[in-house]
A and B are shown apart, each in its own frame.
Chain A
Amino acid sequence: QVQLQESGPGLVKPSETLSLTCTVSGGSISSYYWSWIRQPPGKGLEWIGYIYYSGSTNYNPSLKSRVTISVDTSKNQFSLKLSSVTAADTAVYYCARQRTRYDYVWGSYQEGPKYYFDYWGQGTLVTVSS
């Protein structure tokens, strides 16, 4: 059974960089897409971005200038960095898995994510405060 576990500081100062890591156990990080999703207290879900095990990324345009997602396949981990944080970035941060789809386009197969999240971490609350 695949399990995801977020880790990182629970408190970050304004203007600093939020850093979180998601460790995948019970399965390989390879051949899947991996996302970060956040949920401000009492509010809805917001997709932050995803990374393929090969390293290709896609980010939410509203956060793109501040977000970096990276992967370390040797450790079965992927990470999130969000820079210049403010109180509006206070949220529970989840990591989640997306399966890979294969589209046959112009004589070859192209990889892309399936647009649903089948495994989630338990979430970690990050508070931005001085």
Chain B
Amino acid sequence: QSALTQPRSVSGSPGQSVTISCTGTSSDVGGYNYVSWYQQHPGKAPKLMIYDVSKRPSGVPDRFSGSKSGNTASLTISGLQAEDEADYYCCSYAGSYTFDVVFGGGTKLTVL
């Protein structure tokens, strides 16, 4: 069982927006602004999409955005495109006396 809870799957049509949630506790997601999101296509390595809750690395489209409220972080993808279909994982700092870094179980995004 993963430390952070994500929906197993979400879906949307091209052009629509989807939001993927990531629920933790006050000891991880809620306690620090260190949430990151990764996109993983089949057979490929994860790719950093969002860090520090809402910052985008250079080269990541601004269709991808992150936010946090309480113990739940969210990744929103607007203007869905076919190439966005992938697995998405959230990740959070969990304190230096515990797991340090914990991941969510992953969410499969299907573009209909």
Using a CB–CB distance below 8 Å, which chain A residues touch chain B? 35, 44-47, 50, 58, 60-62, 94, 114-118, 120-123
Contact = CB atoms under 8 A, between A and B. Distances in A.
B30 interface: no
B89 interface: yes
Contact of B47 (A58, A60, A114, A120): A120
Instruction: Tell me which of B32, B44, B51 has the highest count of chain A C-beta atoms within 10 A of its own C-beta.
Output: B51
A-B pairs with lowest CB-CB distance, top 4: A116-B36, A116-B51, A115-B34, A115-B93
A12 to B, nearest CB: 21
Interface in B67-112: 89, 91-93, 96, 98-106
Nearest to A6: B45
Interface string B13-27: 000000000000000
Nearest to B100: A58
Interface of B: 2, 32, 34, 36, 38, 44-48, 51-52, 57, 89, 91-93, 96, 98-106
A44 B104 contact: yes
Contacts of B104: 44
B102 A120 contact: no
Most buried by B among A35, A120, A123: A120
A47 B102 contact: yes
A101 B53 CA distance: 16
A60 B3 CA distance: 13
A40 to B, nearest CB: 12
Nearest to A58: B100
Given A47-B99, A61-B99, A115-B101, A120 B46 contact: yes
B45 A120 contact: yes
> Which of B47, B52, B91, B101 has the most chain A CB atoms inside 10 A of its CB?
B101
A44 B48 contact: no
A115 B106 contact: no
A44 B36 contact: no
A115 B23 CA distance: 17
Contacts of A122: 44-45
